[in-house]
Amino acid sequence: MTATTPIRWGILGPGSIAQSFARGVADSRAGKLVAIGARNPAKPGLAESFPGARILDGYDALLADPDIDAVYISIPHPGHAQWAIKAAEAGKHVLCEKPLALTAFEADAMIHAARKAGTFLGEAFMYRLHPQTLKLVELIRSGVIGDIRMIKSSFGFAMPGFMPQHRLYANDLAGGGILDVGGYPVSMVRLIAGAALGQPFAEPDKVVGTAHLGQSGVDEWASALLHFPGGIVAEVSCSISLNQDNVLRILGTKGRIEVPDFWFAGGNRDVGLGQIDVIASDGTREIISVNEKRHVYSFEVDAAGEAIRAGRQEFAWPGMTWAESLGTLRVLDRWRAAAGLEYGIEKAQQRINTISGRPLRSGGTAIAKRTIPGLSKPASVVALGFEDFRTFSSGSILLDAFFEAGGNLFDTGYVYGAGYTEKLLGEWLKNRGVRAQSVVIAKGAHSPLCYPDVIGKQLDQSLDRLQTDHVDVYFMHRDNPDVPVGEFVDAMDREVKAGRIRGPFGGSNWTMERMDEAIAYAERTGKQKPGALSNNFSLAEMLEPIWAGCITSSTDAWKAWLTARQMPNFAWSSQGRGFFTDRAGRDKRDNEELVRVWYSERNFGRRDRAIELAARLGKSPIHIALAYVLAQPFPSIPLIGPRTLDELDDSLRALDITLSRADLEWLDVGSLRAA
C-alpha cells in the first residue's frame, strides 16, 4: 500500500449514520466506498443510498470480501465488539461507531484482537478530527481564558415520545443516553482538562453520576460530575427524552469559551463551519470560525486512512487513541454503575456466547495441565484469580479466554468482592456448562471470623453462590492460633465426609508449625490430612506482610519443608506484585507497598538475574519470576490475576520457559551451593 493508494471501505450495517459516513468517504482524500454488508440486501433504496457500492448479503460476506481493506461498523452498540473482533481476525481494519463497546472491558477485548492481528481500530467520534477541535485545544493552551476551573457539556434531545421498539428505548439494544450520546461530553471534557494540564487528555480522579431509568430500563436523562487533578470540575449531561441547550462551556479565571453543538462543529451531518466563542471577563465576545466546508465525516475517513497507510494501529491525536477510548468508557462504566444501569443483554441469562459471538470452545493447549495430589482430575498449571470484575459481561471475557487456552483452575474466596467473585464464577460455570471440567478453589474463615464453626456456615453460602454442591480444593483463609488446630481439621474433615469438599484442604497463610501440628493430629485421629497450602511464594521474598496475617513460604526453610512434604502450594503474589516490572528499581521509591514489602539488596540481586536471563531468552523478568514458581521441586501452582486479555497472554508467555535446578539456584542466590 502506497501513500496515495485509496483505502477501500466496506460498511457493516446500512443505517442513517452509515449514509452520512458514505458521503464523507466520497468527499475524502484517502477513501473509496466499495461495498455494503446488509442483513436484508433486498431492502428498497440501498443502491440509491450508497451509489456505486456493491450490496453484499450479510456481514460475514463483507468480511470475506478480498477487495475491502477497512470496515466501518455502524450497527447498534451490542454488536460492536463481536464484529470488530471478527473483522480483525479477517485481517480488516476497523472504524467503529461510538461507543466503541458497551464497556471498557469489551473495548479492551477489541483492542486485544486488533493488536494481535496487526490491524487498525478506531472509535468514530468524528468531532475529534474536525479542525475545530484542534483550534479549541490551541485556545485553551494559549491561556486566553486563564486557568481552567470548570467545564460544562451536554448532549440531549427529546424523542417524540416513548417508542419501545426504537433502538434508543430498547434495553436489548443498549439504548438510553449515556451510551448513545454521553460519550461526547465525557470525551470532550477529558480532552479539555488534558489541554489545561498540558497532556493529550486527563483522567478524572472522581466520578459521581445519576440517571432517570424509564419504563424500558434505559436512561432517559442523566448527569455526572467529574473531578480532575488540579481542581478542574466538569458537569456532563445527556438525554433522549429531554431537550438541552447542547453548548460546551469552558470556564477560566479570565473568561469563558462557548462552543455550540461541538460534535457537528455547529452544523449538521454534512457541514460544520466550526464556531468558537471566546468571552472575556468584561463580556466582550470574539467569534472564531475555522470556516471548514468539507464534509464533517471526511476528516475521520482521512485520519483513519493516513494511519492505515503508515502502519499505525490507532488514530493519531487528537483522534481517539486506544487509551482515550478506554478512559472514556471507564467513565461511562462508572456513571452507569452509579445509576444502577445494567442491560439485560449484559447478564448471564442472555450472554451465552463469548465476546466474539461464538460458543465457548474447549480443548485448548496453551495452558498445560498437571496432576495435583488429592485431586481426581487434572488441573491447569496456573490458577486464575479474578477479583476486579463486578459484572458478568466484564468477568466472562477473561474467564472465557482462560478456559479456551486450557485453564480450568479457578481461585475464589468467601470474602472476595463481598461474595461477588463466587457469584460471578457460579454464573459462568452454569452458563457455559463447564462445572464438571473445572477445578474450583474456595476459601473461608477469614479473620476476624476465623473459627471452626464458621467453616460450614460460610461454605453453605459459597456453594449457593457458586451454584454447585461441592468445591474441589478448600483453604482456611487465615489461622487462629488461639483455637486448637484439631478443631479446624475436624471441621474440614466433616465437609469432606459430607461430600462438599472433594479434594485437598489446608491453610492459606498458615505457618509451618501449625501445618505440621494439623497433619500430626489428622494422622493420630484418622481424619483427612491437610493436603495443600496457599501461602505467598515468589522469586522475591516477602519481607513484611502485604496484609495482616499473611505468610511467605519463600525462605530456604520453607522450600525445604515443601519439598520434603511434597506439599502443593497455591502461590499468591507469585510475581512479586510488580517488583519484576519497571514499577520497581533501586532508585524508585514512590510505591510504598513495593518498598516496604520487597525492597532488599538480596531481592534486587534476584531481580537483576531475572532481567539478565530474560534478555537471553527474549522474555520479560516477570516471565522468569513466574517460571521460577512453576519449576519448583514440589507441586507449585501460581495464582495469577490478569485484568485484561493482554495481561493474560503475557502471563502465558512464561509457560514455555524450562528452568533447571541450576537455573533456580542461580536465580535465588547467584551461584551454585556446595553439594
DSSP string across 417-439:
GGGHHHHHHHHHHHHHT-TTT-E
Residue 102's pLDDT is 98
Cα separation, 311 vs 643, whole angstroms? 28
Q: What is the separation of C-alpha 582 from the centre of its chain, rounded to a whole number of angstroms?
A: 21
3-state SS assignment for residue 257? strand
Q: By the 8 A CB rule, do 626 and 654 touch?
A: yes
- Residue 527 DSSP symbol: P
Calpha distance 242→380 (Å, rounded): 53
Residue by residue, DSSP assigns 377-427 as S-EESSEEE-TT--SHHHHHHHHHHHHHTT--EEE--TTGGGGHHHHHHHH
What are the φ/ψ torsions at residue 8 (nearest 5 degrees)? Answer: -85, 115
Q: Which grid cell sits at 384?
A: 486464575
368-392 burial: b if 16+ Cβ within 10 Å, else e: ebeebebbeeebbbbbbbbbebebb
> Residue 284 burial (CB < 10 Å; 0-12/13-18/19+)?
exposed
pLDDT of residue 299: 97
The pLDDT value recorded for residue 444 is 98
Cβ atoms of 13 and 37 within 8 Å: the answer is yes
Strands 148-156 and 233-239 turn out to be: parallel
Q: Report if pTM > 0.85.
A: yes
State the sign of the Cα–Cα–Cα–Cα dihedral 413, 419, 420, 425.
Answer: positive
CB-based contact 662:393 (threshold 8 Å): no
* Cβ neighbours for 467, distance < 8 A, ≥ 6 positions apart: 426, 427, 429, 430
CA distance 31 to 333: 33
98 annotated active-site? yes
Cis omega (within 30 of 0) on the bond before 78?
no
Question: Which grid coordinates belong to 628?
Answer: 521460577
Indicate the pairing of strand 369-370 with strand 379-380.
antiparallel
Q: What angle (nearest 5°) sits at the alpha carbon of residue 94, between those of residues 93 and 100?
A: 155
3-state class (DSSP) for residue 71? strand
Q: Kindly name the residue from 32, 43, 86, 98 that is annotated as catalytic.
A: 98
Q: What local confidence, expressed as pLDDT, does residue 271 receive?
A: 92
pLDDT at position 268: 87
pLDDT, residue 67, reads 97
In angstroms and rounded to an integer, the radius of gyration of the C-alpha atoms of the chain is: 28
**Per-residue pLDDT, 358:** 96
CA distance 43 to 200: 43
Confidence at residue 106, expressed as pLDDT on a 0 to 100 scale? 98
Q: Of 98, 126, 128, 94, nearest to 110 (Cα)?
A: 94
Q: 246: phi > 0 → left, psi -120 to 50 → alpha, else beta; which? A: left
Strands 255-260 and 275-280, sheet pairing: antiparallel
Answer for the pair 129, 318: CB distance below 8 angstroms, yes or no.
yes
Q: Average pLDDT of each block of 10 consecutive residues along the chain (675 residues)?
A: 85 94 96 96 92 96 98 97 98 98 98 98 96 97 98 96 94 97 98 97 98 97 97 98 97 97 88 94 94 95 97 97 98 98 96 96 96 96 94 97 98 96 98 98 97 98 98 97 97 98 97 98 98 97 92 95 98 93 94 95 96 96 97 97 95 96 94 54
Contact 74, 15 (CB under 8 A): yes
